[in-house]
Each structure stands twice: as C-alpha cells, then as structure tokens.
Structure 1
C-alpha cells in the first residue's frame, strides 16, 4: 500500500474519528479527570489531585451493595432475554418473509417508544392500583395488592421488555449465516429434531447469544430511567447513585468516581464473559 493511499484512508476516516473523539472519548476523559479532584462540602471542588472519592466508594459496603444489586438486575435481565430471545429468533428465522417482516416490526416496537413513556406505562401496570393488581383483586384471587413497584423484580421486568429486541436481532443475525442444507442433511441421515438443534442450530446461534448477552448486560447495568422510575428511592442502582451525587449532594468527583468504576466493572465482566464462553464454545464444538 502506497503512502498516498494510506493518507487517503486516514483522510476518509478523519470525520468519524473527530466525531468519536468529541462525543465519546472527551466526556470520558473529563469524567476521569474529575474523579481525581478533591471535594469539600464548604469549599467545593478544587484543582488538587485526590483519591478520596475512590477510597470512599471502595471502602464503604453501601456502594458494594449498590453495585451488587445493579449487576444482579443486569444478570437476571440477560438470562431472561436469552430464554425469550433465542427461541423467538429460531422461529423468526423459519418464518415466511411476509410474516417475518411483521414480526420484526412487533419485536422492534419497544425501541420505537420513549424510554420514559414506556417506563411510565409499566408503572401503571405494576402499581398497587395498577392493571395487574386491579384485575386480580376483581377476580378475587388476591385480597391485597401485590408489591411490584419499587422492587428489583419490577425493574427486571421492564428492562426485559426493551432488551429482548437486542437479543433477538443478535441471535437472528447469527442464524442468518446458517446453511439450511445442513439441517436437511442431518434430517436425511436420521438425526432427531433435538439432535439437529443441539449439534447444528445451537453452535451456530451461540455467537449471537454471546453478542446479545454482552449488549443486554451492559445496557441493563447502566440503565437509568427505568430503575429511577420503577425503583424510586428504595431500589438504588449505580446509575441513580451517580445522579444523586451530581444533582443532590453536588459531590461531582464522587459521582464521577462511581461512574468510572461502573464502566470499568462492566468492561471487566464483558471481557471475562467473552473469554469464558468462547473457550467453552471452542472445546464443545471443535
């Protein structure tokens, strides 16, 4: 490759690099720098470098509880999305083009609605006088409302509603690369439907399950609007804690430190999960 061609490649990619640097890297760098500033409740933020914010987060079990709750919610959301999205993708891949287009539109429906509007809809459904409790009480199934608002379960349910499309699209994209002749050949050789699914369909769907799991987990762990509305002050997660530090206590360095630790934790979990699944996948289907 000549130097002139290489220069053209850099010139063509320059707008994207500038956009990426401006809107992604610059805020992250500014947040990282802010997390090392010293904060005083009477004097505010000064220019001195301090690790007090990180020491406060890492030395207080209150923040460990918040991080644990956040990752537990993200993990539960991911597992439910896999259980729902993987079979849905399998049937979606076998549909006729006309029905498939309608089904894709239905699956993508939650992504076309504002997250606030969608979460407020779930608040109406899950409230003490919401649709579910009112219906069950009218039928005489329950005498008192079931507590679903301001619980981790309610947050997981609402997150699954919006995260399933990411899982379905990821697994479906992986199944699209599958050669239909392989299933027909296995069937002609006497393989049962369960064997075909286990030996042919599942290995080819696993990369989609992996990528979809990473997307769902990272988005669920960093979600803000849904936990803030459905969890309120009772079920705090990391994102709402960052908001409280920035907007309520005005301790911006502490909020920035929590945000950086969340980002690092998500990256570590994603890398570890990626290596673990790829290693097991390679040994099982080599």
Structure 2
C-alpha cells in the first residue's frame, strides 16, 4: 500500500471501532425496533413476522393513545418552560460570581446529575407525599388546610423533572454568557441604560442560542423520561415511555410497544431537527 493511500485510510481505521460500536449498540437495535413495530401480535399466537399497519392504526384510532402522547407533550413543554424561567437567571448569577463561589454553586447545580435518577425521584416522592415534608411544612405555616395532591399528578412529575433537567439549561446558557464581553454591560450603563434595558437589549439577544440549545436538550429528555413519570406519576398517569414499557412487559404486545416507541422517537427527531435549524440560524445572525 502506497504512503498516500495509507494516509487517506488512517482516519477510517481510527474511527472504525467507534462506528462499529455505534452501529451495534444504536443503529441495529433501532432498526430491529422499527421492524418489530410492523409485526402482528395475538394473545394466543404471539408475535407474527408479517408486515402490517395494525399497530399504527390502533394508536391513531384510539383516543387513549392520543391522550397519552398529548400528556407527554404537555409535560415536556412545561418542564422546558420552567427550566428556562429558573435556569436563565441562575446562569446569569452564576456567571457574575467570583471563581470561588462559582465552583461551590456549580457543585450544587451538578449535584443532581451525580445521583441515580431513581434515588432522586424516590426522594421527591418522600417530599411530595400527602405526609411528606412539603405538605407538612405548608400545613404548619397555615398556608393550606389539607395536603395538596402532588403524587400521581402532572404537577409532581413536572417538579421532579425540572429538578433533574435544569442543570442542562443552566450549563447551556452559561456557555453562551461566557462569550459575552462584560465591558458591553459597563458601556451600556455609562450611556444611561437601566439594568432591565441592558438585560433585554444587550444580554438576552446574545444568549438566545444558549436558551434554544438548552431547551432542545431539556425537551427531548423530558419527553422520553421514564423513571420520574413511573415513580411520581404511577400507573394512573401514563406517558409515552411508560406506555411502551407496559406494552412490552405487562401485556407482552411487543409490536404495539415498539410502534409507540417509534412514534415517540420520530416526533422527537422531527422537533429536535427543526429546533436545531432554528438554533443554527440564530447563531449565524448573532455571530455573523
């Protein structure tokens, strides 16, 4: 083999193992799931390897599945909205801190990511229960007369998911803030601009790409979350991920569960790609 050919082949040899692992662990299982979604199933005959659209027809014709997907979308949108409302100011404060305090706050922000998602969610279940710390504290302060319903409700699921996913929003916005020259704010102050005007006219347009990037991550993770909806929502509050789980392991209707998973994946890919195009367009407008 000539040196030129060997040099051209080197990148392929170096990326080959990673591509093989990605193919074996991601692409092939996804392809098998998509294929399984078009198989037939019966209670007595099991899975039949014949092409059919019965599973997708059942999903689109049954209002129960529509309700589950709409609930999944609603929870993901609410989690993303609260992550923006809480995470953006927190990222701005983090960016203005001294390095010593910033390190401590970063540890507190990243702390939820260092703990198992099941342990975190069980902790929220103890806090949000009818006899949990939240309800007992509110009743002790005289703010409520009877416990609020957090468990097995969308409110409880949203609270747990916001706690789990808000670090992704904070880090995305903080990365955008680090590109912002602090002297721009000082220049605006010297010209008589108020703090609100500086935030609205100077800072916010610069960090919009970070907000959009963080929103994509939070929305995708919230829509596909399983542990938090399963523990906090329980069996009465189904989302797409728990619905697919039940079809696979409870009713043993693997093709229908695969169809639910494929539709969830397709919806997330379409929304993520569309939002990513918006982020790229916004980056080009900001930094051109």
Determine the structure 1 residue equivalent to 2:133: 131
Determine the structure 2 residue equivalent to 1:81: 83
* Backbone CA RMSD of aligned residues: 2.0
> 1:205-262: per-residue Cα shift (whole Å, max 9, x none)?
1111011000000000000010001101121100110010000000000000000000
Superposed displacement of residue 281, structure 1: 8.1
Q: Give me the whole-angstrom Cα distance separating, in 1, the residues matched to 2:282 and 2:180.
A: 21
Contact persistence 1:155–1:226 (CA under 8 A): yes
Does 196-205 or 89-98 show the bigger shift? 196-205
Q: Which runs of 5+ in 2 are unaligned?
A: none
Instruction: Choose which of 113, 116, 137 in structure 2 pairs with 1:114.
Output: 116
Superposed displacement of residue 12, structure 1: 1.3
Superposed displacement of residue 152, structure 1: 0.1
Contact persistence 2:209–2:282 (CA under 8 A): no
Instruction: Choose which of 89, 92, 99 in structure 2 pairs with 1:90.
Output: 92
Does 146-155 or 190-199 show the bigger shift? 190-199
User: Does 2:202 align with 1:200?
Assistant: yes
Does 173-182 or 33-42 show the bigger shift? 173-182
> 1:249-286: per-residue Cα shift (whole Å, max 9, x none)?
00000000000000111122223334456667878998
Determine the structure 2 residue equivalent to 1:168: 170
Does 97-106 or 15-24 show the bigger shift? 15-24
Contact persistence 1:69–1:237 (CA under 8 A): yes
Superposed displacement of residue 21, structure 1: 1.2
User: What SS is found at the alignment partner of 1:235?
Assistant: coil
Q: Which runs of 5+ in 1 are unaligned?
A: none
Q: Give me the whole-angstrom Cα distance separating, in 2, the residues matched to 1:94 and 1:166.
A: 19
Instruction: Choose which of 66, 69, 75 in structure 1 pairs with 2:68.
Output: 66
Determine the structure 1 residue equivalent to 2:260: 258
Q: Structure 2 matches for 1:41-52, cutoff 5 A?
A: 41-52=43-54
* 1:119–1:47 Cα change, 3 Å: same
Determine the structure 1 residue equivalent to 2:226: 224
> 1:78-99: per-residue Cα shift (whole Å, max 9, x none)?
0000001111111111111111
Q: Structure 2 matches for 1:5-84, cutoff 5 A?
A: 5-84=7-86
> 1:133-177: per-residue Cα shift (whole Å, max 9, x none)?
222333444332211110000000000001110000011111112
